[in-house]
Amino acid sequence: MTKILVIGSAGQIGSELTLKLRGLYGNNNVIAGVMELKAAEKLDGEGPLEIVDVLDRQGLVTVVRKHGIDSIINMAAILSATGEKNPMLAWDVNMNGLINVLEVAREFKMKQVLVPSSIAVFGPSSPADHTPQETILKPATIYGITKVAGELLGDYYVKRYGLDVRGLRYPGIISHMTLPGGGATDYAVEIYYEAVKNKRYTCFVNKDTRLPMMYMPDCLKSTIDLMQADFSRLDHHCDYNVGAMSFSAGELAASVKKYIPEFEITYSPDSRQAIADSWPNSVDDSLAREEWGWEPDYDLDSMTRDMLRAIGERHDKGLI
């Protein structure tokens, strides 16, 4: 029987992933790990909940023992923009947190650890279009540096200790249940909320900024497909490129305008522009497609329709 601990269960991806995994494996087999109780409202009553601070190894061990955890998904991380404001915090959470997870997983001989990586592993010297799986990794952000080191560390635990560690390089993730926290791709979520609420948005990157993006249902699908892939078929472990769509901020605005014609956008780039500029326009994910059958379902317009529907419903009910 699998018992999965999701660390960072109240976050943008963690909140939806926890619920999805509970649907697949049973409520009691997926333990939500959150930093504080009030952050976990969406998960309340659905299954076990524990306070887990990824920096507290002993606390992690206690939760692992209590529930007989055999797999950990570590979604706790400081993202790119927040990381630039506090590089030491990013290093601490993203590296020391990861070491704690890997060491506890090793000690308890766990079945699997999943640690996401990001397009932030790439930098200005990586090829910008159709960025290959294997290429120059010289990121310009502390977040990217921790993600490169995290990929290498995960691969090291596979080789050195035979631990099953897996990870994928998420592009910007767009969703409507939980807001992202402190990334350079947050504009691609904010635009939908502002379009529904105010019919206008001031975007913090310029019109031509093009980045790889993915809608949450595809993010969950890619994560679960990789988790369930046969280990013997995986040539790589912690660094799979996964793509879904690639669009500029201007194209995103045009997609919103198709459904909300009165929507207006202005551009006022801030410090996040430089982060976005250092990342690829699109990625080559052929290895994920070959090794574990990755295939996305959503494109820009199908995502826009679904985002506007979901956010519109909540707005009509006065919830946002």
| Contact residues: ligand SER, CB under 6 A | 79-80, 118, 120, 143, 170, 172, 183-185
Which residues, 6 or more positions from 236, have their beta carbon under 8 angstroms from its beta carbon? Answer: 133, 287, 291
The residue among 185 and 255 lying less far from ligand SER, judged by its C-beta, is 185
What's the burial of 275, exposed, middle or buried (CB within 10 Å: 0-12/13-18/19+)? buried
Q: Helix, strand, or coil here: 51? A: strand
Is residue 143 annotated as a catalytic residue, yes or no? yes
The residue among 81 and 102 lying less far from ligand SER, judged by its C-beta, is 81
Residues paired with residue 214 on neighbouring β-strands, in sequence order = 173
How far CA 251 is from CA of 81, 243, 248, 257, 305, in Å, comes to 23, 17, 5, 10, 14
Q: Helix, strand, or coil here: 240? A: strand
CB of 73 to ligand SER, least distance (A): 16
Q: Provide the residue count of the chain.
A: 320
**Look-up of token digits 């504009």:** 187
φ/ψ bin of 56: left (φ > 0), alpha (ψ from -120 to 50), beta (otherwise): beta
- Closest-by-Cβ residue to ligand SER is 183
CB of 225 to ligand SER, least distance (A): 19
For 73, the enclosing helix (H) or strand (E) is: strand 71-74
CB of 314 to ligand SER, least distance (A): 22
Residue of 25, 143, 156, 161 marked active site: 143
Neighbours of 261 (CB within 10 A): 8
Which residues are identified as catalytic? Answer: 143
